[in-house]
Amino acid sequence: MLDIKFIRENPDIVKNACRVKNFPDIVDDLLNLDTRVRELKTITQTKTAEKNKISKEIPTAADKAPLIKRSKEIGEEIAADMAELAEKEILLNDLMHRVPQIPDASAPIGADDSANVEIKRVGNPRNFDFSPRAQWDLLDMNNWWAPEKIAGICGTRTYCLCGEAAELELAVETFVIQKLIAKGFKYIECPSITKPQTIFNAGHFMGSDMSVMNDDVFMLTGTDRCLAGTAEIILNSLHADEILSENDLPIKYAGFSPCFRKEAGAAGRDTRGLVRFHQFNKVEQYIFCKPEQSDEMHELLLNNLCEIMEDLELPYRVIANSTGDMGFNKVKMNDVEAWFPSENTYRELGSCSSIGTFQARRTNTRYRENGTNDVKFVATLNNTGIALPRALVPIIENHQNADGSVNIPKKLQPLMGGRTKIGGKH
């Protein structure tokens, strides 16, 4: 959420953010409510002081009746004002949670992903000297999955990798985790079960009514828990209500967890293959830093994922996401997309996002500034380290051979027992 003082002083900037991000402009309503809330607080404070003054006068007054009557009247007025104040504060809180983050000036302006801008392309799509197979054909011929059997056991949008493909998935996860640890990230294996408030605090959903999450989040019926859709959710709250030392910043985490999503908004999309599931695994990069460090940390996170694409020997490109495609809580966002030969296009494998102080205001995560001793909100950023099994699709499709085998990228070979390829007729 944004600072109410910022909204009061910069209403046009906030209105523009609503417009370019395609969210309702509720700024005028919010400011009117804010004015009324402040008025009511002043009124109740003034009346309370008056009532206290009368209460002190009553014991020594020659005629107590008028004072007692006035004290009672003021008490009733205060009760009515307090009731209105409570109601207005609830409404104001809801509107505060409906104001989107202000996008960075560098973000392309546009309504959706059609306005995204390619800013870098690395590597060239491979020219095959045979007819390349799609991911599902490679998985079928090598007995690397059992989609019908698992769907019958577990339901749709579930997957199960078998044999060498499962080993490859583990190797990719392990490689990325080890790479991030070597870069100074602290590895955390995160739980997937959490409280709805934790998800709400990450700022992906609008408003104060947490039931809005029900279409996307698996709620655990009969409990006060739910399943998180990313390790970002847990990492974001690790320092909730803490005041960190400036010397501790930036704090860099590499979180791993199974992720759970209803995918309610993706009906009919990617029903075949390894792209979209209710459960998947992800390594997440997450940083707490000073706001002025945010641009530097964004580049660090983005470069890490670009390096991982190169380690996996994948052609890829980097996208600057438009204001209408970056979502509710982001200052700026870059997608990293790998080449999918079967679709003859690039598809997203990770998103690097600067959030500013938006999440920290929800979690009340702050730091104490050296020298001044001032307490300020931290900035947060996140980026995918790797998401699986989605990342296996470009790996097996780009590195396939005519016999259906798949070459293992050199940097993964030590984690695959020295093997240089899997599958096929070897």
Q: Which residues are designated catalytic?
A: 261, 276, 348, 351, 390
Q: How many residues does the chain have?
A: 426
If DSSP codes are grouped into helix, strand and coil, which group holds residue 145?
A: strand
Task: Tell me how far apart the alpha carbons of residues 1 and 141 are, in angstroms, rounded to a whole number.
Answer: 50
d(Cα 110, Cα 325) in Å, to the nearest integer? Answer: 8
Q: How far apart are CA 177 and CA 173, in angstroms?
A: 6
Give a three-class secondary structure readout of 165-215: HHHHHHHHHHHHHHHHHHCCCEEEECCCEECHHHHHHCCCCCCCCHHHHHH
- Residue type for position 413: Q
78/70 Cα distance (integer angstroms): 12
Measure the CA–CA gap between 358 and 379, rounded to whole angstroms: 8
Phi, psi of 119 (to 5 degrees): -115, -15
Hey, what are 249's tokens? 């910043």
Q: Is the peptide bond before 250 cis (omega within 30 degrees of 0)?
A: yes
Q: How many CA atoms lie within 13 A of 328 on its CB side?
A: 17
Q: How many CA atoms lie within 13 A of 102 on its CB side?
A: 15
Longest dimension (CA), the chain: 108
